[in-house]
Amino acid sequence: MAVNNGLASGTAPRLNPNFGSIVYLNTAGDSWYNSLQLSVNKQLSHGFQFQSSYTWSKSLDDTQGQLPNDTNGTYPLFASDPFNLLLDKGPSSFDIAQNWHFNLIYRVPDLTRSALLGKLVNGWGMSGIVSVQSGYPFSPLLANNQSGAGINGAGAGIDRPNRAPNFDAGSVITGRISQWFNPSMFTLPAPGTLGNVSRGLLRGPGLANLDWSFTKDTGLRYLGEQGRLQFRAEFFNILNHPNFSVPAILNPFAPTAGQITSTVPGTDSRRVQVALKVLF
């Protein structure tokens, strides 16, 4: 990691401008995690069972290196100031403040004893999985090396802006896909200084998803006591709810600041899968 001997916090200049660049390598990092975890289970009875779990948590760290879900560079490998890692203390890239999951399985009771009619109305079941969570943290980032720190060579994409005098934590997130955060609430730091915006200050869109399936078992006695034909219809993201990623454009001074251009990987639009299985 090539650095211009680091920066002091606030408005201080480089610690030693006589050095052009140095290579500084170390293994350092701290993290903090606190949570409240709740879980409810109902064991199978009368054809019905469910499980629900909820976690309210906060995971903090300083620069921990780029992680798999950091697709927009919010969490670069290098600290803003290698000599003061606490300047980068903030939410972990994987921090989810609230996370709720619920799943159920229900087998509909047989409605008739008629052998013929029972082929149609008996043997039905359903199951579902609900996932709801808050958004991932991200930071507004400058496209240039305003601080002059020279972290990782040019250092672009590491510096953060200042909070503008009109900064409002309650309205900085607009909720619009075209401009998820209000760029007018940030200002450019003076050259040679680090911005006062904390790492992971903002939050991206939350996630909500419902997967559902229907099954129908029809007995096939000629295949033995356990023989049956099973029909399955599975609906992934049955409500076709879009789950958006954090903004692709993090520079608040870019024309398209705060624009979201992608969805969360693995949360496609509605998909339907139908299958027939012979069990014996």
pLDDT at residue 2, as a whole number = 38
Phi-psi region of 258 (alpha: psi -120 to 50; beta: other; left: phi over 0): left
Q: How far apart are CA 195 and CA 193, in angstroms?
A: 7
Structure confidence by residue, pLDDT tens digits, 3-34: 444 444 444 455 666 766 666 677 778 889 99
Residue 16 and residue 5 in contact, taking contact as beta carbons nearer than 8 Å:
yes
Q: How far apart are CA 247 and CA 154, in angstroms?
A: 23
pLDDT-derived band of residue 205, with 50, 70 and 90 as boundaries? very high
How high does pLDDT run on average in the chain? 84
Whether the pLDDT of residue 86 is over 80: the answer is yes
* More confident call, 129 vs 1: 129
- 164: closest CA among 140, 192, 199, 145? 140
Whether the pLDDT of residue 66 is over 60: the answer is no
**CB under 8 Å to 111, separation ≥6 — which residues?**
118, 121, 122
Q: Which helix (H) or strand (E) holds 115?
A: helix 115-121
Whether the pLDDT of residue 65 is over 60: the answer is no
**CB under 8 Å to 168, separation ≥6 — which residues?**
185
pLDDT-derived band of residue 273, with 50, 70 and 90 as boundaries? very high
Q: How far apart are CA 193 and CA 44, in angstroms?
A: 61
pLDDT-derived band of residue 113, with 50, 70 and 90 as boundaries? confident
CA 168-171-174 angle, 5° bins: 140
Residues 261-267 have a mean pLDDT of 86
For 78, 167, 192, 247, the CA distances from 24, given in Å and listed in that order, are: 11, 35, 20, 32
* More confident call, 53 vs 27: 53
State which amino acid sits at residue 73: G
Place of tokens 């996932």: 131
